Each structure stands twice: as structure tokens, then as C-alpha cells.
Chains A and B, each alone.
Chain A
Amino acid sequence: MSSDTAVLSADPEFEHRRGGLEKIQHLLHRSPVLSPLAVLVLSSLVFTLLGKGRFQDPSSIGTMLQATAVMATLAIGQTLIILTAGVDLSVGTAMLLTHLVMARQVFVGGWPPIVAMGVGVVLAMLMGLFHGWLVTKVALPAFIVTLGTFYIYQSLGNVYGKAQTIDSKDLGGPRGLLMFMSREINLGSFTINTGVVFALLLYVIFAFVLAKTAWGRHVYATGDDREAARLAGVDTRRVLLSVYVVAGLIYGLGAWVQLGRSQNASMNGAADVNLQSITAVVIGGTSLFGGRGRLWGTLIGALIVAVFDRGLSLAGVDQNYKNLAIGVLILVAVALDQWIRKVGK
């Protein structure tokens, strides 16, 4: 019996007052979206001042959102996986392989677009199922699994695509189903496309699912403490498997957004999205250790990446410094997460 710990029991006079720093720690613990939101607002203000009127220009903002939609969509799947303490390095190549299948089956195979789309989405979900199977049944780390599949999908895509680029008219033109996500929506000089609206819709849906359904709770619990969740009665293997399949579904939908964005199909379409999606999740305040974070944080994280990208180039800063700034942001975000997780210890 450790009698020396008795004093630590809940007598109020022994409970110490929270200092200012500790208050901030508890605030961020409760609302992990606050710090990325502050970064987004502050950086937008700074770039508005530096941008000589071009940063806050509505058409400029519209373009920025269109350029971010694909990565932001994929980052939803990435968030789900990181919430379970996993990571997916193959988001980008999985999406590219899928969009290539959709495009080539219409262009070369002569399939109806709706069938090619459906097959593409199912294929992406099968990729997710494969990742989930390797993670849960074979018990491999998600990092290694998706590092492997990153190369596999890249290579399969190159072989299957024969290094060709399928362009807009072969995809059925801007009125076709495959390019539905390219349709423009004009609000004055502010122009976005259906892809941006679709990505936002996915955020609304999955934010609801994560926060308000039992499945969402189980995703958090599995990532937070897998053994505890299992003992409490959560079928953690099924939860993990379903997370990877749902992430696959999102990559399939992301492929559709990509077709609308790039208006062509090739394996070189979106080279940066693999790592950028992880960046968005981490800057958005989701813990790489799992169980903590909000989907809206990821959207903010994706916007932060876009704002830095656009803001620094408008301010005439060398592109290399953009990556330096993003790199610093990642380190700060991870250090902040470590500090927040120490709450109550």
C-alpha cells in the first residue's frame, strides 16, 4: 500500500490552480481546431498585407480552392486512417490509378462512363480492403503497407496507362459524367467548380459520421487505445478494416474530383498529394498517435497549405521557402500535439 499517494486524492485544497499556460493547454485539449484556425487567419492576414491586393482577390481565392479540392478530399480518408494511429502513404497513387482506370475504360474500353466510374470506386475500395487486411490480419504497420502499395500502384498505373495522357475530349468533354467535377459555379468574380462543392459536402458528411455515430466513436477509441477499446466491447479489427475501406471509397471519389480538376488523365497528375494530405491532417491538429483530432481541422490544414502556397508566390518569395515554411509548420504542429497530450499527466 503506497500511503504516500494518499495526499493526491481529490481534496480541493490540494488541487493547484491552473496557470495561464496550463489554461491554454486545456483549451487546446478540448478544441484541437483552435490552433490551426489561428494559423489560417493570421497567415491570411499577413498575405493580404504582403500580396498587394492580389491575395484577397475573389477570383484568386476561387482558383486556390479549385486547386486544393483533390488534396482536401483525399485528406478525409487520410484523417480517418491517422485517427486510428495509422498512416497512408499511397493515397495519391491509389487515386491516380483509379482515375486512370475510369478514364481508360471509357476511352479505350468503350464502357459507359457510369460503369467505369462505379468500377473505379469499387477498385479503390478493394485497395483499401487490401491495406486493411494487411494491417489487421497480417498485423503489418500501416506505414510499411502503404509504402509498398505506393510503389505498386505507381508501377501498375504506368504499365496500364502506357505512359499516355488521355485528354479532355476523350473523356467525353466538359458535359460528360467523368468531367462533372469541372463544371464552374460563378458567384460574381468568385469562381469555383463542382469539385470544390463536392469536397465540402464530403467534409460535412464525414464530420457528422465521426462526431455523431457509434462508428465514429469506435474509430476514435480504436486509435486512442486499441486494447482498451477491445476490452470495452468494440470489435477493433472490424473498425480498422472498415476505416481502410471507407478511405478507399474516398480515394475513388477523389479520383472523380481529379478528373474534373486536371481535365485529363495520367499517372503524373498529382505528384504532391501523398505527402500533402498527411501535412494537412497534421497541421490540422490531428495526432499521429491516433484518437485525437477533428475532421474540420484537416480542412483548415489543407487551406493553410494552399494559403502558404499562393500567398508566398504572390509575395514573390522563392518557392523553396514555401516548403521551408510548411516544414516548420509541421514540426510546430507535432510538438504542440505532444504538449497537449500531456494534459492531466
Chain B
Amino acid sequence: MTEPILQAHGLTKRFGRVTALDSADFELYPGEVLAVIGDNGAGKSSLIKCLSGAMMPDEGEILLEGQPVTFRRPQDAQAAGIETVYQTLAVAPALDIATNMFLGRERRRSGPLGSILRMVDDGGMRRDAKKALDDLGIGTLQDITQAVETLSGGQRQAVAVARAAAFGSKVIILDEPTAALGVKESGQVLQMIRDLRDRGLPVILISHNMPQVFEVADRIHIQRLGRRAGVVTPSSVSITDAVAVMTGALQINPENEHLGPVPR
């Protein structure tokens, strides 16, 4: 069996008397799209924040390629090759597309202009930003110097995904990427997810949208009451059963992964 590229054991996170994560486990394997589903308050967001460095767990460990890692800030996870597209997209609306794509990792010009005057390489960054968008099949953005706030919701999403794809070398995390999008734009984002997987990048997809999850995911991690209720595959379980596990009406037998009623 291959080793998980990213795994977590016994993650616990408490906010005062509320336990957001209660010894949660997690595994992501190379080359897969893993969906994370769960009801509100199940600990999806906390789990993802721990994996992306936006939050530190109180207990538990995270392993990247088998090595223990500690993420104190989002930059730590980014440096380790984990890129996250947040639901809020984390783009600065007044700044242009290229500036946003390289925000926090601007490249300097070569020679004394860069080393002494610290001048950024706008030409190079714009070229590469354009290429990153083209690689994802988004040729519709004509002007890379356009402010992000002049773009449609789907185009903004594309900018955020392209940024993650350009810098994420190991894992891409997408938090509710289609929540604010229409049907057509959602389809484009799902296609981007498949393209990322085909390029060999494993993707974690957090979503409430069951049909989309079942359409695109290889495996589905079901989060319930702060811990992992189980992992299923779209081919072996129906949407109804997955939702039943999510809400606690059914439970997964950890021995054989068969679904059964919750024992009283």
C-alpha cells in the first residue's frame, strides 16, 4: 500500500468549552481527489485550517510524506508545498491579477536593479501569471493587469486556483470552491480539479454540494462531531447513505466499511 502524502493523527482543537476537533484522523494519498464532507460544526473547517497552517491543533500530529511537520502560519504550509484556496479566495480586490498571484512571493529583477534597488520583476511575473492561467485552460482573462474586483466570481476563483496550482508542489486544498458560483462556472472549476489531479497533484475538496462531490472525488472523508466518521468511495455508497453517515443516522463499520444502523 502506498504511503499517504499527507496524514494527521489525533488532531484535537478546543475553543473554550467547544471541541471543534476531537482526535480526528486524516489521510490523503498521492494522485487522488479526496472530498471532505460533514454537517456544519463537524470540524471540516478546523481540520482544513490545521492542515493549511491557518490554525494550530492543541494535540495530534501532521505528517507530510511521512515526516512530522508543524505549521504555525499559512506561510509554513506554503513553504512545505501545501497551497490552499480559501472560500474567501484570499485575493486583494484592488490589486491586479498578476500582483495577486505573486502576492507574498514577489520575484525580484536580476542584476543591481533587483539586488540593490529591490525592484520587482513585473514583466516576468505577468508572463508567468498568464501562463499559469493558460495552463488551467482559462484563456478568457485578456488583461493580466486588470484589478481582481473587476472580474466575475468564477474568474476570481480561477485566479485563486491558478495561484495555488502554480505554487502548490504537493497538495492543493480547495475550500467550498463552487459555493458562490453558477452552474457553468462550477463546471469549469470541477474541470480544473480534474486537471490538477491529472497533473499529479492530490486535491482536498471541501464541499457541501453532494452531486459535485460524487462526480469528482476518488474518496470521500466524512467528518462528524469533530472526528472522522469514515471514508467511502462514490461507487460503493449512495449520496443518501453518505448524508445519513454525515448526520449520524447510519454508521460505518470500521472493520469492513459496510454501513449499518447506529447501535443504541
Contact = CB atoms under 8 A, between A and B. Distances in A.
A26 to B, nearest CB: 8
A34 B244 CA distance: 60
Given A10-B154, A229-B103, A235-B75, A1 B91 contact: no
A235 B163 CA distance: 18
B90 A8 contact: no
Contacts of A217: 95, 99, 103, 106, 120
Interface stretch (A129-137, A218-226, A264-272, A274-282): A218-226
A241 B62 CA distance: 32
B256 to A, nearest CB: 34
Contact of B184 (A6, A224, A231): A6
Interface string A1-34: 1110111111000000000000000100110000
A228 interface: yes
A212 B183 contact: no
B114 to A, nearest CB: 10
Nearest to B149: A344
Given A10-B140, A217-B95, A343-B150, A231 B182 contact: no
Q: Is the interface of A mostly helix, strand, loop or mixed?
A: helix
A233 interface: yes
B140 A3 contact: no
Interface of B: 54, 74-75, 78, 84, 86, 88-95, 99-100, 103-106, 108, 117-120, 122, 140, 147, 149-152, 154-155, 163, 181-186, 209
Given A218-B103, A232-B100, A345-B149, 14 more contacts: A9-B184, A10-B140, A10-B155, A30-B147, A214-B106, A217-B103, A217-B120, A232-B91, A232-B163, A233-B74, A234-B103, A291-B94, A343-B149, A344-B151
27 contacts: A1-B183, A1-B209, A3-B183, A6-B184, A9-B152, A9-B154, A9-B184, A10-B140, A10-B154, A29-B147, A30-B147, A212-B120, A213-B117, A214-B120, A217-B95, A225-B93, A227-B88, A228-B88, A228-B89, A228-B90, A229-B104, A231-B86, A231-B88, A233-B104, A233-B105, A343-B147, A343-B149
